[in-house]
Amino acid sequence: DAVLGQENYHSAFACVRPPGHHATPSRAMGFCLYNNAGVAALHARATYGIQRVAVVDVDVHHGNGTEAFFRDDADLFYASFHQSGDDFYPGTGLAKGAKQGFSRGRELSVNGAKVAGETGINNNVVNCPLGRGAGLRAIRRVMEEKILPALSAFAPGLVIISLGFDALAKDPIGGLNLDPHDYAYLTRSIQDAAQCKLISVLEGGYDVREIARGAVAHVSELARLAKGAKPSDDLRRLRGASVISELSSGESWGSEQSYGDEDDDVNTLVANMSLDSVADGAMARSPTANRMSMDSVAERPATPPLLPQPPPRRS
């Protein structure tokens, strides 16, 4: 509403839980209760008349639920790169002709989506499965050869990024080996191809500090674009994201990592460096359309709060 309504913000990042891209129209699964991106797309259509909505999913898992929402509507577009193989969840989004997608000559479906070969009712579904360890080079290739051209040709009125941070190298579940800074590339390349309003919604991620670092890169890039930078401009590595990455503790959900002075340094960097850069973009008010939805940043106290500290370990 803040992006499409009277406030006319440039973009917005919805830092929400639970995630949503595995939830189908009729079933919750994979930690997802309802499909946030799918609901947002239909809300944009019903409330603001945005007929053509695209979702680009950068989570390490295939968004089987979003695909189920979108595949039969020619005015909805879904694209995803994701890890596949070794029975990686949810087992869908494989390439056309993959042997796992067939049994006795019949196409298989699991978790609300085809196992392999889904292209949608009007070529409005683009799936790019990748092997473990693919890295940025492979992801850039599928983005620039498949996803971005299809997104540009679709010409959406709104693009939604399903923003999973479990593709990061230090995530304990995923294996696509991205660096937090790579999310700045993903953000600006999607904006450049879509040429429309953009919102993002948090999906997966199992290392809380890596989620924070990826979010720093993503929101900093949104702020940069809100201030008038062109998506195609060259961008050197963001200082905050790179320094934070170098100090990474590797702390993950359910791990036995200890918390020392280094973790306090990471929290300070996230709070001070990233919020300063975001606030600059959030307060860009000329023109009004170049504002970013980040009220909590605009209203932050003089001394930014640290990120929540983890609970003490049990002895």
**What pLDDT score was predicted for residue 86?**
78
pLDDT of residue 279: 41
Per residue in 151-200, pLDDT (tens digit) is 999 999 999 999 999 999 999 999 999 999 999 999 999 999 999 999 99
pLDDT value at residue 85: 82
- Predicted local confidence at residue 108, as pLDDT: 67
- What's the confidence (pLDDT) of residue 232? 54
The yes-or-no answer on residue 61 being catalytic is no
> What DSSP assignment string belongs to 118-142?
---TTS-EEEEEE-TT-HHHHHHHH
Which of the following is catalytic: 22, 62, 82, 218? 22
What's residue 163's pLDDT?
Answer: 98
pLDDT value, residue 231:
62
pTM greater than 0.95 (yes/no): no
Residues of the chain falling short of pLDDT 50: 103-104, 235-266, 268-308, 315
